[in-house]
Amino acid sequence: MRFFNTAGPIIAADHYHIPPLERINRDEVLLLIEQKRYFVLHAPRQTGKTSTLLTLMDELNSSGQYRCLYVNVEIGQSAREDVGAAMQAILGQLASRAERFLEDRSVQNIWRTALNDFGPHNALQEVLSRWAAADARPLVLLIDEIDALIGDTLLAVLRQLRAGYPDRPQHFPQTVILCGVRDVRDYRIQSTAENALVTGGSAFNIRAKSLRLGDFTAAEVQVLLAQHTQATGQVFAQNAQDKIWDLTQGQPWLVNALAYEACFDNKAGRDRSQAVSADAICAAREQLILRRETHLDQLTDKLQEKRVQRVVEPLLSGAESAEAIPQDDIEYVHDLGLVRLVPFAIANPIYQEVIPRDLTYTTQIRLQHDPAWYIDADGSLRLGALLAAFQAFFREHSEHWVERFQYKEAGPQLLLQAFLQRIVNSGGRIEREYGLGRMRTDLLVVWPRPSDAPVQLQRMVVECKLLYQSLQQTLLTGLAQTRAYMDRCAASEGHLVIFDRTPDKAWDDKIFCREEGVGDAKIIVWGM
């Protein structure tokens, strides 16, 4: 039985999948190879780059026109800037794969001698030159994880490829495809030997084109899910298909992970007579987040980088514009897959959920609040009491706690989310909306009531705003926004939290709580 793949390259016999070469412009790639071009294929992690390269290798070798080899140079990463050790690992990997996939021992016979005679800064060029000349068929080399290499090791590989470029195709590979998370032009390589910062564009100025492997389209997501239905008879309800698209925006690992969780890891989901529902997909999302899956963990680890912070922090705080964010940083974070450019926002709702949770994880576990304090006898969540407790906590401790956050500009919003998350983890969930130009953060708290309650779910809105211009203006805008969000979410309860960060202002002038009427709705306003 095939299944949804969440680890490693696609194996057609084992995995539901979209044919990898259908996800890129295959004709363009083949034309670039025919034209003897060197180019880049890049995309965020776990998007399908390796599967694409392996499929391309099989197709080119099957044609009989080329010799093509895929090699992953990540093996040289552990050598750091020890160019000799890294080159030994890379050449050994190249030789092993040539023997395995091409039944060619040419590299195996020469690489050690070349390394000894020519040294690590020339050995790769020499090996590729001899190997290309050993057969009349042009050589195509697919180099994966190129940006796993660092410093002088990366420079040594790029410069040797550039040095051999004029000798193609008789004495050097006809085409080299470099594959990684980022475009080579965006590399900022710190060379210890040269005591200088070298750009990838200068070290590898022979790049003809940069291709980006995108996410699944909505149609491709439907095709992928339909393969499971065809194989097992189990259908995805339309609302489940819509929910997968809404939550992932087509990010391939997320699509596969949600579907696998709902259909294989979930006991009820393994009953193929039962359709997969939107609720099952929401439950799957929560499990992925709580387990801190490697994909999500690797992504949020990037949040510690200053370049990433300069992009993500304004999104979290709802800053007015992106004018102050360096373009290079935006492109870098886009290459990582953390943001989309149109509209400029966090890439998908799952990442949007994971980022504030990750940034406040240690804060959550240090907050000493028992969820039972805020739950009524009928199982309802007393959100008003929870916000009153947070208001008192914020007055007493905010300066101390916000100072701990790396993302201090979004500190008040993050602290509130940590406080709420600590409570709702016992049974509910928070859905978040935030982004550049919003001037607010929208939180929807969803709390399940007991099965015998008249209404199964409490849906409560918390709108967070920073005080700007005047309290009256902030109130007018905030109340209208809160009411609109309540309508959209069908929420029965609304709260507007206004953070006043005016320097040297007395807490007695910041703290208040009052009820405001907007149409037929009542909204509680909390000043902090």
Summarize pLDDT for 200-216 with one digit per residue, the tens.
Answer: 999 999 999 999 999 99
End position of a domain, from candidates 250, 275, 291: 291
138 and 200 in a single domain? The answer is: yes
Q: What is the pLDDT of residue 438?
A: 85
End position of a domain, from candidates 212, 246, 281: 212
258 and 366 in a single domain? The answer is: no
207 and 226 in a single domain? The answer is: no
Report yes or no on 182 lying in a domain: yes
Q: What is the pLDDT of residue 189?
A: 93
196 and 251 in a single domain? The answer is: no
Separation between Cα atoms, residue 303 and residue 325, nearest integer Å: 16
283 and 400 in a single domain? The answer is: no
Report yes or no on 321 lying in a domain: no
**Average predicted confidence (pLDDT) for the chain:** 93
- CATH value at residue 161: 3.40.50.300
230 and 271 in a single domain? The answer is: yes
Portion of the chain with pLDDT greater than 90, in percent = 80
Q: What is the pLDDT of residue 59?
A: 98
Report yes or no on 45 lying in a domain: yes
Residue range(s) defining the domain that contains residue 41: 19-212
Q: What is the pLDDT of residue 219?
A: 97
139 and 242 in a single domain? The answer is: no
Task: Supply the DSSP string of 217-235, one letter for each residue.
Answer: PHHHHHHHHHHHHHHH-PP
Report yes or no on 346 lying in a domain: no
End position of a domain, from candidates 291, 313, 338: 291
Contacts for 464 with CB less than 8 Å, ≥ 6 apart: 412, 413, 416, 440, 441, 442, 443, 497, 499
Q: What is the pLDDT of residue 424?
A: 78
Portion of the chain with pLDDT greater than 70, in percent = 100
Q: How does strand 345-346 pair with strand 339-340? A: antiparallel
Model's pTM, two decimal places? 0.91
Residue 319 has pLDDT above 90, yes or no: no
Q: What is the pLDDT of residue 397?
A: 86
Average pLDDT of span 364-378: 82
Residue 26 has pLDDT above 90, yes or no: yes
Whether residue 449 contacts residue 457, with contact meaning beta carbons closer than 8 Å, is answered with yes
Contacts for 20 with CB less than 8 Å, ≥ 6 apart: 10, 48, 51, 52, 54, 55, 56
Report yes or no on 374 lying in a domain: yes
Q: Which of 116, 119, 206, 208 is nearest to 163 (CA)?
A: 206
- CATH value at residue 242: 1.10.8
Q: What is the pLDDT of residue 320?
A: 77
At residue 458, φ and ψ (nearest 5 deg) are -85, 135
**How many domains are there within the chain?**
3
86 and 197 in a single domain? The answer is: yes
Q: What is the pLDDT of residue 364?
A: 83
Residue 244 has pLDDT above 90, yes or no: yes
172 and 255 in a single domain? The answer is: no
Report yes or no on 301 lying in a domain: no
Whether residue 284 contacts residue 261, with contact meaning beta carbons closer than 8 Å, is answered with yes
Residue 371 has pLDDT above 80, yes or no: no
Q: What angle do CA 242, 221, 41 make, to 5 degrees?
A: 135
201 and 74 in a single domain? The answer is: yes
Report yes or no on 4 lying in a domain: no
203 and 254 in a single domain? The answer is: no
159 and 119 in a single domain? The answer is: yes
Report yes or no on 142 lying in a domain: yes
Q: What is the pLDDT of residue 37?
A: 98
Average pLDDT of span 393-420: 88
Summarize pLDDT for 88-123 with one digit per residue, the tens.
Answer: 999 999 999 999 999 999 999 999 999 999 999 999
How many helices, marked H, and strands, marked E, lie in the chain? 20, 17
